[in-house]
């Protein structure tokens, strides 16, 4: 472990293309190699925190399923989500996957304090 | 540590864009391509430049020329080499597209 801190920023809606899922794969790979990783959901990425209504037996794992696997990769801290992104999309009252809500002004510090920012 | 914010998208509405709320003192904003429509004469982002003390705004000279946009006070036009120098100067960058 080289002490670098990764911030993985998720900004794409989960079901329009494979970008968000691929980015989650990348994040889990970093975690599997014991890198310090934080997850941050912004803008349309916050839709990924909506739980699955129904699990489908076929196909690749959903973002919700991948997020549920985070603790098995040593990521004990819940992902971060920007409060304003939820408000702008009317999701503030929705039941979401476990996440720590932060304000937009706090995002600046997270970006600045990370050694590597991977934003997709 | 300061962050270089690369903004690629034109304004989507009259309000303050989300990325603007994610700046902190010392950060820099680089407006690229159609993001420059935001700082047209009556563009919604014009009043953000110059913003809070400590934040610098940049754009490529060619992007400005191509769109016929005059750089307002507080916006620093640079060439390609200047862009590369900023990418080196700031340890992290983040793209808002």
Question: Phi and psi (nearest 5°) for A81?
Answer: -135, 140
Cβ contact, residue pair B24, A117, below 8 Å = no
Number of domains into which chain B is organized: 1
Decide if B89 touches A, using CB distance below 8 A: no
CA distance A44 to chain B (A): 12
With respect to residue B51, please indicate whether it lies within any of the assigned structural domains. yes
- A56: closest CA of chain B, how far (Å): 32
Chain B nearest C-alpha distance from A117 (Å) = 7
Q: Choose, out of B22, B24, B25, the residue to mutate when testing the contact with A (most A CBs < 10 Å).
A: B22
Residues on chain A touching B2 (C-beta within 8 angstroms): 112
> What pLDDT score was predicted for residue B87?
95
In the numeric block, which tokens belong to residue B95? Answer: 């793209």
Name the residue range of residue B71's domain. 3-10+24-96
In a domain, B17, yes or no: no
Give me the percent of chain A exceeding a pLDDT of 90. 63
pLDDT in tens, A38-93: 999 999 999 999 988 777 778 788 888 889 889 999 898 999 999 999 999 999 88
Q: Is residue B19 part of a domain?
A: no
The mean pLDDT of B41-60, rounded to a whole number, is 85
Instruction: State the CATH number of the domain containing residue B54.
Output: 3.40.1260.10
Structure tokens at B90: 């700031």
Spatial separation of the C-alpha atoms in residues A120 and A14, rounded to whole Å: 12
Q: Is residue A18 pLDDT above 80, yes or no?
A: yes
Q: Is B15 inside any structural domain?
A: no
Q: What ipTM is given for this predicted complex?
A: 0.78
Residue A59: count of CB within 10 angstroms of its CB: 6
Number of CB atoms found within 10 A of residue A71's CB: 11
Q: What are the tens digits of pLDDT across the range B70-95?
A: 999 899 999 999 999 999 999 899 99
- The secondary structure element, H or E, covering residue B30 is strand B28-31
pTM (predicted TM-score): 0.86
Q: Which of A12, A81, A112 to mutate to test the interface with B (most CBs of B within 10 A)?
A: A112
DSSP per-residue codes, chain A? ----EEEEEE-S-TTTSSHHHHHHHHHHHHHHTT-EEEEEE-GGGGGGGSPPSS--SSSSPPHHHHHHTGGGGT--SPPEEEHHHHHHTT-TTS--SS-EEE-HHHHHHHHHH-SEEEE-
> What pLDDT was estimated at residue B41?
87
pLDDT digits (tens, 9 = 90+) for A83-93: 999 999 999 88
Q: Is the pLDDT of residue B54 over 80?
A: no
Closest of B83, B80, B28, B69 to residue B51, by C-alpha: B28
């Amino acid at each position: 472990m080289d002490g670098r801190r990764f911030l993985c920023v998720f900004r794409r809606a989960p079901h329009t293309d494979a970008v968000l899922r691929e980015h989650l794969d990348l994040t889990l790979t970093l975690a599997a190699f014991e890198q310090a990783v934080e997850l941050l959901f912004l803008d349309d990425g916050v839709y990924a925190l909506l739980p699955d209504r129904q699990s489908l037996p076929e196909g690749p794992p959903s973002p919700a399923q991948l997020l549920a696997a985070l603790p098995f990769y040593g990521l004990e801290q819940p992902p971060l989500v920007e409060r304003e992104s939820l408000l702008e999309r009317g999701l503030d009252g929705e039941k979401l996957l476990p996440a720590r809500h932060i304000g937009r002004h706090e995002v600046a510090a997270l970006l600045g304090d990370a050694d590597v920012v991977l934003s997709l | 540590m300061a962050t270089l914010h690369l903004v690629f998208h034109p304004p989507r509405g009259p309000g303050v864009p989300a990325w603007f709320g994610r700046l902190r003192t010392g950060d820099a904003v680089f407006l690229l391509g159609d993001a420059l429509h935001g700082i047209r004469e009556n563009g919604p982002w014009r009043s953000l430049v110059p913003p809070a003390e400590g934040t610098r705004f940049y754009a490529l000279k060619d992007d400005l020329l191509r769109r016929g946009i005059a750089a307002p006070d507080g916006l620093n036009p640079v060439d390609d080499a200047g862009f590369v120098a900023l990418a080196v100067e700031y340890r992290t960058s983040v793209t808002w597209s």
